[in-house]
Amino acid sequence: MAFKLPSLPYAADALEPHIDAKTMEIHHGKHHNGYTSKLNAAVEGTTLEGKSIEEILGGLDMNNAAVRNNGGGYYNHCLFWEVIGPDSGQMSSELSSAIDAAFGSFNIFKDAFSKAAATQFGSGWAWLCVHSDGKLEVCSTPNQDNPLMKSVGCEGTPILGLDVWEHAYYLNYQNRRPDYIEAFFNVVNWTEVSKRYAAY
Ligand code: MN3
């Protein structure tokens, strides 16, 4: 069973003015679609065929560049489309408490996450991860790496991710990555992030 590009769960223009429709169309229809088809090509006929993306990334040989880059790209964007949306939803009291416990307050968490996103040199992602004991951590990874991969410097299950590749923001924000990061917080779907926290 090959991996499939998921449909965007909202219209491409639903996140305007924070993320513009053209960026969403290209990002989903070209970039994510490309990772999906290249991932399928990379696993076809190998022992990875038929495994879930979480199984593949959790047991990944980091020297397998095709699966690392395209499997990461496939998973990361699947998560990204779901944790953002036109409705900010509602953060659960459990997630709110965990954020307070780990960072001190939501605003301190937001600063730490924004800093991780802003200082990731070149292409990559910022993450909010939950460890097996429920503790939260903010980190960033280069390229399409993510915390499911062993030895990337942060571990756990990502429950919020921010794509800071230029393809995610350049049409609208050019070199102003900090403005894009600030805008991102207007489109986070906290109901979905809370659901992922509850399922860790
Ligand atoms: Mn991207």
CA-CA-CA-CA torsion for 20, 53, 192, 34, nearest 10 degrees?
10
For residue 191, the CA-to-ligand 1 centroid distance in Å is: 22
Instruction: Find residue 127's DSSP bridge partners.
Output: 139, 161
Number of alpha helices (DSSP H) and beta strands (DSSP E) in the chain: 9, 3
Task: Please report the pLDDT score of residue 61 as a whole number.
Answer: 95
- The reported pLDDT for the residue numbered 170 is 97
| Residue 1 pLDDT | 66
How many whole angstroms from 180 Cα to the centroid of ligand 1? 13
Side-chain half-sphere CA neighbours of 133 within 13 A: 4
Residue 39 CA, ligand 1 centroid: distance in Å: 15
- Distance from the CA of 93 to the center of ligand 1, in angstroms? 30
Tokens for 142, please give them.
């280069």
Q: Rg (Cα) of the chain, in Å, rounded? A: 16
- Other CB atoms closer than 10 Å to residue 152's CB: what's the count? 19
Give distance in angstroms: CA of 168 to centre of ligand 1.
Answer: 5
Residue 32 Cα to ligand 1 middle (Å): 7
Angle among Cα 135, 140, 144 to the nearest 5 degrees reads 120
Q: Which is nearest to 98 in space by CA: 41, 142, 49, 157?
A: 157
Q: How far is CA 167 from the centre of its chain?
A: 14
Distance CA 115, CA 120 (A): 8
The burial of 159, by beta-carbon neighbours within 10 Å (0-12 exposed, 13-18 middle, 19 or more buried), is given as buried
Structure tokens at 108: 């301190």
* 105 DSSP assignment: S
Return the amino acid letter for 52: S
Q: Map tokens 């989903």 to a residue.
A: 28
Are the beta carbons of 103 and 97 closer than 8 angstroms? no
What pLDDT, on the 0 to 100 scale, is given for residue 136? 97
Which pair of structure tokens corresponds to residue 45? 């006929």
Please tell me the pTM assigned to this model.
0.97
Give 165 Cα–ligand 1 centroid separation in angstroms. Answer: 6
Give the Å distance between the CA of 170 and the centre of ligand 1.
11
pLDDT computed for residue 191 by the predictor: 98
What is the C-alpha separation between 29 and 7, in angstroms, rounded?
9
Mind listing the pLDDT tens digit of every residue in the chain (200 residues)?
A: 699 999 999 999 999 999 999 999 999 999 999 999 999 999 999 999 999 999 999 999 999 999 999 999 999 999 999 999 999 999 999 999 999 999 999 999 999 999 999 999 999 999 999 998 899 999 999 999 999 998 898 889 999 999 999 999 999 999 999 999 999 999 999 999 999 999 98
46 Cα–ligand 1 center, Å: 26
Rounded CA separation 69/67 (Å): 6
